[in-house]
Amino acid sequence: MACLTLKKSNCKNCYKCIRHCPVKSIRFSANQAHIIEDECLLCGQCVVVCPQNAKEIVDETEKVKVLLQSGDPVYVSLAPSFIANYPGVGIDAMRDAVKKLGFTDIEETAVGATLVKNEYDRMLREGDRDVIISSCCHSVNLLIQKYFPKELQFLADVVSPMQANCMAIKEKHPEAKCVFIGPCLSKKDEALKYTGVVDAVLTFEELSAWFKEEGIVLEEKIIEDEFSKARLFPITGGILKTMALDSPDYTYIAVDGVENCIKTLQDIEEGKIHNCFIEMSACVGSCVGGPAMEKTHRSFVKDYIEVTKFAGAKDFDVPQPEVARMRKGFGEIDRKAVMPTEAQISEILRQMGKYKPEQELNCGTCGYESCRAKAIAVFQGKAETSMCLPFLKDKAESFSDTIVKNTPNGLVVLNEELEVQQINSAARKIMNIRSASDVLGEQVIRILDPSVFINVLNTGRGVYDQRVFLAEYGRCVEQTVVYDSESRLLICIMRDVTDEEAEKEKKENISRQTIEVADKVVDKQMRIVQEIASLLGETAAETKIALSKLKESIKDE
């Protein structure tokens, strides 16, 4: 968008922005938030609430610096809410500061507010309109243009104070450029849409950063001024406080906050409101609650007091332009949103595990007020089924339970008090336990020797693939015991190796028997060999004796 940017790396998939977006104009894709320009009101709530500062208002400081370098006189139109953002700093101190930045001069937007409220008074005196809605707030105007086009007939076709003030400046100084400075994000969009009036828009945050960059320190210098009633515009009911309110046929109401504005517009659409002038502000508290007020200066009561103290009892003495010059047209803005059929909504709900109405928790964790609204958003490509936290939790638990129930290994989970928290069917089979309820919540000593668990808990070191014979169950297991410090649970995994041990013992017995047989065969063979050797030894001796005698007899002869 032209006014908002997203730092993708900072978006943590928390859905806080969608929870606070009054019209749900945020699309989630690939775990990232994307603002839908056709639906956005530029109220700035997503900027304010984002915990990671992933959404940023587009900074126009460099654009303004280029204007200052152009050689044309550049004037500031300063929003009356400045007194809340810079308490104790009057308009003269602000003039001195902006001149140091290179601006020609400064005027209060409240001067333009005087022209606007005069036009509202004129419309009320004519009395030919049933309901009149103030058009100062660009976000409210966008709300009506995009979501309540039938109520455009009730929106006052009058320029905003920002536009009225800049038009007056340029009428006095035809070569001038105008820069509006205020607490509002949507004014940047208004300046872009209605070209030729406001050349750039800065927020108070951008201005303060610029002052800091240039080393400019604001002085506390307020000069009392009685011509300043229009300075009340930035507080709730401030527009009404400046008006004559002398048309007895009308009721005068101030509404702030987009949710309240939506409810009021719904009442108008249903024909419940007549003969009424309605001051509407998108921000709670009106402009002093704007998204670009510096965070260190956010205090509704204090800001209200600062504005009322700075305001006076009279109007600025300025000539009122012709009615035609104060006119502003508003056309419908098509959101291009396609609504799904009931069958399509039901199918998406089923994908989220919502098969029956009672399964629709409407918990709002995804940011939508109901599961049905979330399903519509999924159809429109604004949301994903995975954004449903209860669904993901149930899915994860179901997946985990499936693994636990079907694994051939025994699983026993204990808390730090060595109480059984979970036991699967494989473990119950090993220990001949009929039902999990028989041992859940009980001390592990009832079913297993606790010494290994106590040792792991005390040392924090796990035991892996330890072979243990469970004499009471006649089972041999290979167990692993670990401690999860995050969940503060002890987990024991047992692999039944009884058959494996029996087979091993069987093989060992066969080997032992084979060795014994081999030993016997060897012994027998050795005896035979010895007997043969003995026989052979006797024969050799006899032969030797005979031959010796023969030899001797031969010698004698």
DSSP per residue over 318-346, as a string?
A: -PPPPGGGGB---------PPPPPHHHHH
Q: What pLDDT is stored for residue 550 in this prediction?
A: 59
Average pLDDT score over residue span 27-46: 87
Burial of 292: CB neighbours in 10 Å, binned 0-12, 13-18, 19+: buried
pLDDT score at 556: 56
Q: Tell me, what's the pLDDT at 84?
A: 93
H or E element at residue 80: none
Looking at residue 378, the DSSP 8-state letter turns out to be H
Q: What is the percent of the chain with per-residue pLDDT over 90, rounded to a whole number?
A: 58
Burial class from Cβ neighbours inside 10 Å (0-12, 13-18, 19+) for residue 287 reads buried
pLDDT-based confidence at 392, cuts 50/70/90?
low
Residue 17 CB contacts under 8 Å (≥ 6 apart), including other chains: 26, 33, 45, 46, 49, 50, 55, 367
Q: How confident is the model at residue 481 (pLDDT cuts 50, 70, 90)?
A: very high
Q: What is the pTM of this model?
A: 0.73
Give the torsion through C-alpha atoms of 233, 239, 241, 245, to 10 deg. 160
362 half-sphere exposure, CB direction, 13 A CA radius? 7
Q: What pLDDT shows up at residue 360? A: 77
Across 68-77, 501-510, 540-549, which has the greatest mean pLDDT?
A: 68-77
Give a three-class secondary structure readout of 527-549.
Answer: HHHHHHHHHHHHHHHHHHHHHHH
User: What's the pLDDT band for 402 if we cut at 50, 70, 90?
Assistant: confident
Which segment, 10-24, 239-253, 369-383, is predicted with the most confidence on average?
Answer: 239-253
Residues 418-474 pLDDT 10s: 999 989 999 999 999 999 888 999 999 999 999 999 999 999 999 999 999 998 898
Q: Is the pLDDT of residue 530 over 80?
A: no
Question: At 395, is the pLDDT very low, low, confident or very high (cuts 50, 70, 90)?
Answer: low
Per-residue pLDDT of 292-308, as tens digits, reads: 998 765 678 889 999 99
Q: Is 363 left (phi over 0), alpha (psi -120 to 50) or beta?
A: alpha
Q: Are strands 74-78 and 105-108 parallel, antiparallel or unpaired?
A: parallel
What's the mean pLDDT in 167-186?
96
CA proximity to 127, closest of 269, 322, 277: 277
What proportion of the chain, given as a percentage, has pLDDT over 70? 90
Please state, in angstroms and rounded to a whole number, the distance separating the CA atoms of residues 405 and 423. Answer: 9
Coil, strand or helix at 310: helix
Residue pair 186/60 in contact by the 8 Å Cβ criterion: no
Across 237-262, average pLDDT: 95
pLDDT of residue 162: 98
Q: Which CATH architecture has domain 408-496?
A: 2-Layer Sandwich (3.30)
CATH 1.10.10.10 fits 1-58, yes or no: no
Residue 508 has pLDDT above 80, yes or no: no
Query: Bridge-partner residues for 55, per DSSP?
Result: 6
Class of 341-406 in CATH: mainly alpha
For the segment 191-214, the average pLDDT, to the nearest whole number, is 96
Average predicted confidence (pLDDT) for the chain? 88
pLDDT at 131 over 80: yes
**Per-residue CA distances from 296 to 204, 222, 299 (Å):** 12, 21, 9
**Alpha helix stretches (DSSP H) within 50-176:** 61-69, 82-85, 91-101, 109-126, 138-147, 161-172
Phi/psi of residue 451, nearest 5 degrees: -60, -40
Judged by phi (left if over 0) then psi (alpha if -120 to 50, else beta), residue 31 lies in: left
123 has pLDDT over 60: yes
pLDDT band at 417 (very low <50, low <70, confident <90, very high): very high
Nearest of 369, 337, 372 to residue 352 by alpha carbon: 372
Judge whether 36 and 27 are in contact, CB under 8 Å: yes
Please count the helices (runs of H) and the strands (runs of E) in the chain. 19, 16
Segments making up each domain of the chain, as ranges: 1-58, 59-326, 341-406, 408-496
- Does the pLDDT of residue 210 top 90, yes or no? yes
Closest listed residue to residue 302, CA positions, set 90, 86, 110 = 86
* Amino acid at position 102, single letter: G
How far from 404 is each of 210, 212, 427, 493, CA to CA, in Å? 60, 60, 10, 11
Angstrom distance (rounded) from CA 402 to CA 396 = 10
- Which range (52-66, 246-260, 368-382) has the least confidence? 368-382
pLDDT top residue among 309 and 545:
309
Supply the pLDDT for residue 397: 61
Q: Please state the length of the chain.
A: 557
CA 489 to chain centre: 29
